[in-house]
Structure 1
Amino acid sequence: MIPIDVDLQDPIEVIPHLINKWQAGAEMVLAKRIDRSTDGHLKRKSAEWFYRLHNKISTPKIEENVGDFRLMSREIVENIKLLPERNLFMKGILSWVGGQTDVVEYARAERVAGSSKFNGWKLWNLALEGITSFSTFPLRIWTYIGVSVSALSLIYAMWMIIDKLMWGNPVPGYPSLMTAILFLGGIQLIGIGIMGEYIGRVYTEVKQRPRYIVKNKKTMME
């Protein structure tokens, strides 16, 4: 199966090269753009930042500058069809399914006619879907923020106590009040982060992705 965009930017001349890689044993052949010169500056930069962030906090990692244009073996397609998820971030799902993967590089052409209907808002939503589909880090980060806020407020409170005991300076009212508020706020963020950990685990479980994808089975008699 070879999905391809209808805007004619992906040259069909690449398809025989994809098929050759598949015939050589690859189960997934990625069509990777050499560069993104056909995209605007903002789109190139936002794509670069997305790939960098996604591959840092999510598993599995996805290949940069690869769109939907690729070759998938029948086995890969059937494995994807078995997934019970409704909202599929296909780049991540295809990387998760795995299989022997190869790459064919190509130069993407300019758009033949019209303009892309995939605007910045849709790209933003796609990026959010990609990160939240394969990472619980956005939930976990609140634990880190809460610990940091609580630790800093506690350090400042200790400094005010030491300043009072050693130099006799009066404890100012407003800073001490803000320190207490920040400390309690940090504790609340830690609580939210802990709840986020459990929510993230539930979110992962309800996807019901299989632990393994069995390629073939052999008995001891074979």
Structure 2
Amino acid sequence: MRRCWQDFTDLVLPTGCGGCGTPRTALCARCRVRLTGGAPQRVRPRPEPSGLPVVHAAAPYEGPVRELVLAHKERGALGLARPLGEALAGAVGGGEGVGGAPRTIHLVPVPSSRAATRARGHDPTRRIALAAAGALRRAGRVAQVVPVLRQRRGVVDQVGLSTRERRANLDGALYVVTGGDALFSESGRVVIVDDVMTTGASLTEAARALSGAGGVKDLTAVVVAAPPDSFEMNRN
């Protein structure tokens, strides 16, 4: 009930823009453009882990975009789930090839740990995945959230860990629930979703777990944001 009330008040009585603090709006026009106004780009971390699928991001993880992600994830600004989901839906579109018939899109969120979900009071990645599915459906696509990944063992918070430590922390940590592969249509796209990509360790582990599922054939990943230097357009 508390979260439902907070979600409502974020939308109806916003105290300030989650990106820049502009009063009386949850998301100002300028920050919305920073979040959703650019063309999604393919991103690659440095170094790129073996097994990382093709990843597209909606925006660089800096400035107002970083603040919006953190406001939703850590500060309970639940009203931001919809615009973050719209950004994620744009990244899904950026990862599609040209031509061919539209296919069912299966969005698979990277799961938060139970401890993190309890501490935050919500699962931010699953929330924005649901919002992204809604945005895709409003655009005439067939999309569904398929939360089939689970943590096999406990993992520590990734913040502050090195690239090597992140990989060790997540190696073998995820699995697909029994019967989960049956939820994917044979002709559909399976898209791993997360709010932010840093080293790519979470997406790589999710891809490893999903690749072992018989129903997964076309596997990519999308995130709302990624470090600016991971965007291909910024590379020489």
TM-score, normalized by length of structure 1? Answer: 0.25
Higher helix share: 1
Structure of greater Rg: 1
Higher strand share: 2
